[in-house]
């Protein structure tokens, strides 16, 4: 896996624009690239984060540079927050419940509003969803219920808790079966799934067994599943930015 070039963390001469889009008591952020884009990524923070967590300067500069150098097709990036404003307990268990509840808000409010704000509709194959840790779990739940909305699913360093907290590690076979059943129940079961984590990540013991169990369903995943593990990769945003540096040019192709 390539490292992010050090000059990519500095300001870019042709930066995109970040705007705040309010809805109800909440807001999401929208990154609009310098050039018109035909793809959109919904990118979800980890436990304790919010809509601003992903858009720290080093990440935004990296995306600006990738687009500027032609390494990455321009894309919109939406960063919502899965917590309700009154939620103060952000422990994994409570976050897990928020993530589940958030699916409806994502479908009914965030996706329509983001695309209204941009002024164009995207079809399913032009939309991706990804996230880190609890945001990875958000991506798993979207995979289980929103194949009509998204085509690209990129969970990073988070397993699926459909069978309980850290279920991908404790019950990998059952978790994989629940995921596959959910996929089969949906009407448009076409997708690409690209999961990424690191060998030293706290989510690795949960995600890796789940991925090994999923891979065995070759009838569903043949040609549609990629799983990368960065040797030594840990559970932090800087490592996640490196995954995105490598993975963003792969998706939408
Ligand atoms: C995981 C390990 C840790 C995971 C989430 C976490 C969804 C989150 C921890 C936290 O928010 O403190 O496998 O998967």
Q: What is the pLDDT of residue 253?
A: 80
Q: What CATH number is associated with residue 193?
A: 3.40.50.1820
User: Measured in angstroms, how far is the CA atom of residue 161 from the centroid of ligand 1?
Assistant: 10
Instruction: Give the number of the atom of ligand 1 that is nearest the alpha carbon of residue 140.
Output: 7
Q: Is the CB of 47 within 6 Å of ligand 1?
A: yes
Q: pTM above 0.95?
A: yes
Beta strand 26-32 with 76-79 is antiparallel
Q: Which atom of ligand 1 is nearest to the CA of 169?
A: 13
Contact 229, 215 (CB under 8 A): no
CA separation, residue 206 to residues 19, 56, 133, 227, 247 (Å): 35, 27, 11, 14, 21
Largest CA distance in the chain: 49
Is residue 133 within 8 Å of residue 237, measured between CB atoms?
no
Residue 1 lies in a domain: no
Whether residue 79 lies inside any domain: the answer is yes
Arithmetic mean of pLDDT over the chain: 97
What are the tens digits of pLDDT across the range 243-252?
Answer: 999 999 999 8
Q: What percent of the chain has pLDDT over 90?
A: 98
| 3 inside domain | no
For residue range 121-154, list pLDDT tens digits in order: 999 999 999 999 999 999 999 999 999 999 999 9
Q: Does residue 241 form part of some domain?
A: yes
Residue 117, φ and ψ in degrees, nearest 5 = -60, -40
Residue 223 resides in a domain = yes
Task: Tell me if 207 is assigned to some domain.
Answer: yes
In this structure, is residue 101 part of a structural domain?
Answer: yes
- pLDDT given for residue 224 in this prediction: 96
Confidence at residue 187, expressed as pLDDT on a 0 to 100 scale: 80
On whether the CB atoms of residues 197 and 233 are closer than 8 A, the answer is yes
Rounded mean pLDDT, 48-77: 98
Domain limits for position 41: 11-84+93-247
Domain count for the chain: 1
**Strand partners for 32:** 17
Determine what percent of the chain is predicted with pLDDT higher than 70.
99
Evaluate whether residue 2 is within a structural domain: no
Report how far ligand 1's centroid is from the alpha carbon of 216 (Å): 24
**Probe target for ligand 1 pocket from 92, 165, 208, with the most ligand atoms within 8 Å of CB:** 92
What pLDDT, on the 0 to 100 scale, is given for residue 188? 67
Q: Lowest-confidence range among 36-50, 58-72, 114-128, 185-199? A: 185-199
Predicted confidence band at 65 (pLDDT cuts at 50, 70, 90)? very high
Q: What is the pLDDT of residues 67-115, one digit of tens each?
A: 999 999 999 999 999 999 999 999 999 999 999 999 999 999 999 999 9
Q: Which residue among 47, 82, 102 is best mutated to probe the pocket of ligand 1, counting the most ligand atoms within 8 A of its Cβ?
A: 47
Q: Which residues, other chains included, contact 113 with Cβ-Cβ below 8 Å and sequence gap of 6+?
A: 21, 23, 28
pLDDT at 252: 86
């Amino acid at each position: 896996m390539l490292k992010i070039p050090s000059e990519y963390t500095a300001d870019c001469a042709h930066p995109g624009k970040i705007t705040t889009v309010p809805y109800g008591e909440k807001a999401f952020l929208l990154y609009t690239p310098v050039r018109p884009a035909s793809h959109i990524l919904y990118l979800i923070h980890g436990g304790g984060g919010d809509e601003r967590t992903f858009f720290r300067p080093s990440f935004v500069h990296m995306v600006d540079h990738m687009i500027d150098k032609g390494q990455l097709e321009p894309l919109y990036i939406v960063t919502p927050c899965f917590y309700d404003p009154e939620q103060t307990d952000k422990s994994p268990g409570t976050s897990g419940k928020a993530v589940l509840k958030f699916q409806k808000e994502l479908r009914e409010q965030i996706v329509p509003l983001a695309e209204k704000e941009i002024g164009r509709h995207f079809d399913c194959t032009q939309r991706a969803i990804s996230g880190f840790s609890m945001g990875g779990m958000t991506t798993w739940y979207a995979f289980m219920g929103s194949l009509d909305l998204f085509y690209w699913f990129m969970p990073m360093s988070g397993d699926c808790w459909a069978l309980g907290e850290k279920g991908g590690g404790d019950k990998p076979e059952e978790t994989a079966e629940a995921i596959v059943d959910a996929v089969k129940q949906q009407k448009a079961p076409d997708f690409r799934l690209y999961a990424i984590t690191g060998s030293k990540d706290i989510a690795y013991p949960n995600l890796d067994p789940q991925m090994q169990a999923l891979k065995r369903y070759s009838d569903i995943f043949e040609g549609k599943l990629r799983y990368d593990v960065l040797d030594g990769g840990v559970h932090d945003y800087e490592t996640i930015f490196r995954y995105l540096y490598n993975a963003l040019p792969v998706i939408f192709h």
